[in-house]
Structure 1
């Protein structure tokens, strides 16, 4: 798993604390499942900042770790909210790139929200390296970046940025060069590889209370809850949200995930809205099964 944050301190007060909690969430998930985690704060390509910084970082991880079959990118503002679930890699034997999305919205509608480039799995292969090179060819390291911005403005429906961003470039790449890439790409909508945070965080108590019944019915919690538009480090959040709403949502999601880790030790949060207080759960510690030692 590869993730990271910009070099230097966050300009937003409290941003570094939030990023630390997001990091801990990823570290807990990787520890539970035996994954290696690389958290990067260096800009590996000086002309690929911001949303584009992940491409040279993922490429470096692929080259540095040829023994790894997959590299899994997760944005800094995405939290695992189902700590038990593992991506079904066996379903992707025929694929090299897995990203949350919907085929019609990408290949036909060419919609900016047809996929989310903040979480994806890339097979460590020559195909994967070639794919990253094609994706990066629209980035700010190329002299044609401004031209690509105009092209993507004209071709990608619902595009919100005024420049060539990584997500609109990815939609363009998949839609325009289907013959080259589509057979090896899986747009995942069967589970929340990327779950939009706003409709998720308000119902977490209900999810916790009903989870045993959910598992019996084959349903699960949201796997990844992604705080798109909240900008925890910079604080320049989408004007559709309030900053307090973003902070409260992050705390709830991170506490919800942390409860799943604490449960093994016999504890849980008293309130998802407050990170500090915890309580013993109403069952004995594991040691009680060995005579209380």
Structure 2
């Protein structure tokens, strides 16, 4: 009985020690778990801050298709996947890269669909119009918003140049001139070849956008509509159907025009001193896709058949431009009139180009093709690298190389190939040419110009004509 009493205190001590150790173990586990949770929270916050994006599932999309939105809510743009630039050399790596790019494209498209359905889409506004006579307010801001909401559509080319949309066209009826339709086909092919070589979009129109804006006025409603239809285009290049691009390698020096909104060929003295309606040519021009141009198109078109003042303007134009006969108001005379009479508002943003043949009068340039070809051939003989074979898609590199040697050799307007040859007055479709020109001169000149341009394209395919009036070709001997 005494021994059992003596064991009880010992048991109490043992139990107390066990409870103390168990409590310490539990406290340690709680402390450890808390520490791990804190570390995980810190790591998560660090990842969010370092990446700088939040993943937000799009409305109506599954969890695999997500849009990555920048943290700044005022600038909602799709962010480029940072893994796209990682060099993945293995086949599985390339497949992974393509999968990531595909996901990005899917996310962009879903994002665009949501914006297109939203109230922010200004194209859905009831007062939004493609037509002249209905002004679009804040076009610059609208273009900027559209580009931001469509990140996969670029307003510049792969080479980094501002994107140009080329516009041209002809009447909707068959040509009266028996050779007219064939000539228009070749004129179109010429422009399409140039656009393909330089990565430009081309729109060819053969219908009246506005029934009252006929003949040479028809281009203004088309240019106005094209600006709205192509917000990704920084410049619109209008080129008459009877104009031929005769230097297939040359590109507009757009950096030169960065402070201007319109470019035309002409001479300042003829416009501002002589006040000649021939001071510029309105058949070929560049115009920037911007709010200024929208306003200018409205003002320009107000002097055409759409205006109730169309008939009185015929005399007004002839009074201001002394070398102009009293005929119906025309687009070119109206352009010169605005440059003179509303100079502060418009002329300061119009660049008159004459340092190269932005558009050349055909009688002045068709005789220069052989001399230009001879000059270029001498340059190639001096620099055999210019005579190498190359694939069409490698053209940009060789064009830059040729431009370098042209500058080095001191090529001026008389040595360079004329950029555009304009057959004003020849009327290849209707045949109603200006009586000061002979029919055979017009036809032969167009044939020479078209073949001169086409030879530059055929060279990429390894062939060359026997002459500018020949349809026979032979293989070219290239340098290695």
CA offset at residue 13 of structure 1?
A: 1.0
Larger RCO (CA under 8 A, 6+ residues apart): 1
CA offset at residue 203 of structure 1?
A: 2.8
Matched, 1:251 2:447: yes
Q: Is the 8 A contact 1:105 1:114 kept in 2?
A: yes
Q: Structure 2: where are the runs of 5+ without partners?
A: 1-165, 380-405
For the aligned residue pairs, the C-alpha RMSD in angstroms reads 1.3
Indicate the SS of the match to 2:352.
Answer: strand
Give the 3 Å change call, closer, same or farther, for CA 154–259 of structure 1 in structure 2: same
Q: Give, in whole Å, the separation in 1 of the partners of 2:442 and 2:292.
A: 38
Q: Is the 8 A contact 2:463 2:475 kept in 1?
A: yes
Indicate the SS of the match to 1:263.
Answer: helix
Greater displacement, 216-225 / 126-135: 216-225
Q: Is the 8 A contact 1:112 1:168 kept in 2?
A: yes
Greater displacement, 106-115 / 56-65: 106-115
Give the 3 Å change call, closer, same or farther, for CA 191–203 of structure 1 in structure 2: closer
For normalisation by structure 2, the TM-score amounts to 0.58
Q: Give, in whole Å, the separation in 2 of the partners of 1:240 and 1:282.
A: 43
Q: Structure 1: where are the runs of 5+ without partners?
A: none
Q: Give, in whole Å, the separation in 1 of the partners of 2:285 and 2:467.
A: 32
Q: Give, in whole Å, the separation in 2 of the partners of 1:166 and 1:213.
A: 42
Aligned partner of 2:460 in structure 1 is: 264
Number of residue pairs aligned between Structure 1 and Structure 2:
284
- From 410, 416, 424, the equivalent of 1:217 is 410
Q: Deviations over 1:134-157 (max 9, x none)?
A: 110100111111100111122213
Aligned partner of 2:142 in structure 1 is: none
For normalisation by structure 1, the TM-score amounts to 0.94
Give the structure with higher Rg (CA): 2
Q: Is the 8 A contact 2:315 2:326 kept in 1?
A: no
Aligned partner of 1:84 in structure 2 is: 249
Indicate the SS of the match to 1:203.
Answer: helix
Indicate the SS of the match to 2:282.
Answer: coil
Q: Is the 8 A contact 1:108 1:175 kept in 2?
A: no
CA offset at residue 161 of structure 1?
A: 6.6
Q: Is the 8 A contact 2:303 2:310 kept in 1?
A: yes
Larger proportion of helix: 2
Q: Deviations over 1:231-276 (max 9, x none)?
A: 01111111111111100000000100000000011101112113x2
CA offset at residue 212 of structure 1?
A: 4.2
Aligned partner of 1:163 in structure 2 is: 328
Matched, 1:240 2:405: no
Q: Is the 8 A contact 1:269 1:277 kept in 2?
A: yes
- From 271, 281, 292, the equivalent of 1:106 is 271
